[in-house]
Chain A
């Protein structure tokens, strides 16, 4: 279907009438002129559809030009006049037998462009003939036509066996035909994730490699992309393919070059590193990549995004080419930013002087985004190349002296990171930083500065004044700054307890009483309780030694990187995102993995195909407040028997004298607060009155009591019935994406059995039957315990509720996010994929009480270097028994299925939000006191 737009016009009746007469004229010349006029009107947007029958009448001609014009007309109007279009079928069928191959090809090509169902039925026979035509030009056109037809009616193509014919064309003698067959098959394969359409074997590979040398540049791209999916049997085959692909690196078309790079990057993985050829290949890869950078800016951009991946995978290829990434004055901004990124990745001791000189130059440019990134890059260099740290710091100080506002702010943010990497080395610059305190107006810079002041409070004489000045506008600050300020003041207090009592109380009350941000509130309570129970412990927790940060933080995760290397040159590689979470229409994507190196233990065949399956995973979703609450309430599986905590306000313990009267009065002001700190039973009673109101109040504006309730022991005295809360059903699969089938659902745990509650709605016109469901591998091995029971066919507009019992005996694979579940649902129409997330609480077993020894053993499984141990004195943990019980269950469950918890602990999470939410979650789990402490210690080390 094609049309041109040049403004809306309507052909007048007079014009139409005139054209009609001319079209029906006996004279050939006149006819031709008339059709031309019609086409001209059409291309400028006039509506000439009224002439359809007259124009179609002109179709039976041996004049090629006239034919072409009529075809153009047909393609444009057939859709709006399907019944009339049938009139053209005969001519098409006849043209497909014309002695002139050009006419045969033109007919089959045009027919495929007419997206009218009735026509496609008639297309099958001519197409079948054309696919076996003696002329390669016709065959190559027919190959593309199969893809067109598949787009209109996939079932028809399969039924008619066109796919097999297409596969046969891969072995065609003509390279163009091979290339088009590959292209058509690749396009069809995208909508058929699991079909083995492009079944490659050494013979077909050989055919493809032969065709590669002779076909057009576009054909070469299709063939190379197809080759990249092949998995060679051994390193020798791999080498021979590489040898035959290498000449493509010198092609003038950059898309050919990049596709060739993809094949080589993938296959060289199999070559032994000590092979001479391996070194040769590495050397050959650099020049074409450099050449791509001298092309037009758009090409450069795509090339740079891909080079970014290549540099992470094999830095040796471009390590000597730093200079080509130097930014030019007139590069577009998107090229500049990418070049900068790669410069840092290539920075090493050998070239750091050059790089720094360049970065300093960039920091004086005009474009603000670019300048910021350049300043940030200087910081990253300092962290990456230790020898350069000093030079970087002095460069940053020079930049701060310029007093350009955004430069200063950016510099302070990166200096904070430098402090983290090299503690006690560059603190002499703090004074300079403090001079610029007033000019900071961006949250990130303010937070960084506050962190520095708090961290080095003992060396800054007026640290309390500085922090106090920030406190004045506490409520106007962003959460990031508030959290940082809270921590910094607590640090300050622990370092200089005598002068700053008032300040710390002020910030604690601001954080806990006046804030409706749960992260802030929770952190406030944790500090408060820590400080009030055991200041020594608090010191150990808050001032614990932090792990050093490394330069690796911005690298792409290795498995993702491997997958992206297999997709060099695609959109996925431009966005650095897995192809699965990607373009619509690629309903399922086979995960690709790099092949194993020969002799690396793993045999070459085993990684052949990565796991495949439904993987239209949406990007990680942070659960909304509502989901979180669902989790929270769902959690409570506690038996109604409650160990009444002993009334023994820990307030009166160690910290009393430290905090003095201020806190005391605060406590008195709120009954609930007292209840919290002391674990008083009145608390439970107070809460028990309104458990149902809790979810509503938690999210928006909780009372102090409410806030505390979520912190400690919500379920304690309440005793909700087991599994009472089930999140409302949400729509998982939209009808428009699933040919009319809409699925909404939720998860529940009833009597120890996990259930998936589904509502299936038929929004299509026809009856649906034969439902079946399957899960992809997931973090906890969830799998349907039995088949989905949909007994009656689902008629249009009907909804059926199904409860599917789940087991945890399925295959395990870690998902991102952890509780992501990918589901495939089948019915008589098609297979549909969607993904959903289940509350983790779903997995908690009722009888999860852990033996003390087992719990300790589990705990010790977490590596020691992620752990800080210390003794907390004078704490009565009676009240924590039940809490501990709950967390024990959590831990047990986790360790049973996966080592998720440990993973979380091991993973160096720098992202403060994930840390906060983890703390939050563990609090919601009503974790035992020492478990929470452990998390706090950990969080403090990385915050």
Chain B
């Protein structure tokens, strides 16, 4: 069904392995301008690397427990981290020294904070926690603007859509919900089965679709206004962890996800066929991120691995 003129797929190859964390790495994200890469770990620190030379820029210390998630502001100046110590911290990525990078601490959650994201305008931060609430924070003052009793089990992911008007949240209670971000009210429930747990949800770059991962080894692409899923991606293993997946749009459209069988899977977005299975990590690949402009993927491995690996595609 593919049109005749598509170039053959060039596989990603290993470029570098970064071993700087002393415990499992929980999250990696490229900055929006593509110059920096940040990684968060259960060793209570975050590390900022340059995306080009992959050299260490900052080691951000301050959390008293492990860090589960991180997010970049749209202008790539600030990083927000979500930690098991029930707080979120905002760091200045351009600070001169790692010690002076900490700007703010957001307190309010009553249990560990699991996921975080900036709004596209980056004046708001949304966070989800094991206390089953979603909180919306004002970046400037750190004030919590809304605390939503969103789910009946831990919230596994939160994400703003492209214009910041909607927030999608997923939870272990099996639901995936869409909220109005200014009024903090529920607009739609996308999935409402008790089983399986929804481990990850994220809007597509144009905000029209939602990529949802559930703990039954499946990834689905939903059209949320209609309430139906359009594509299913499978072949990987996802039963226990909240693996993050993402869209790769720099050289053809793909879905990229980590897996509990220590590999990274890439599927063609339209055909749903698996185009590559990258091996190399020695434990579950919990997080993957794609560079905004280059054909580069960064991935993070759990406790038995503790590395961040960089993969590139020759063009």
Instruction: State whether these chains interact.
Output: no
- Please report B residues at the A interface, Cβ cutoff 8 Å: none
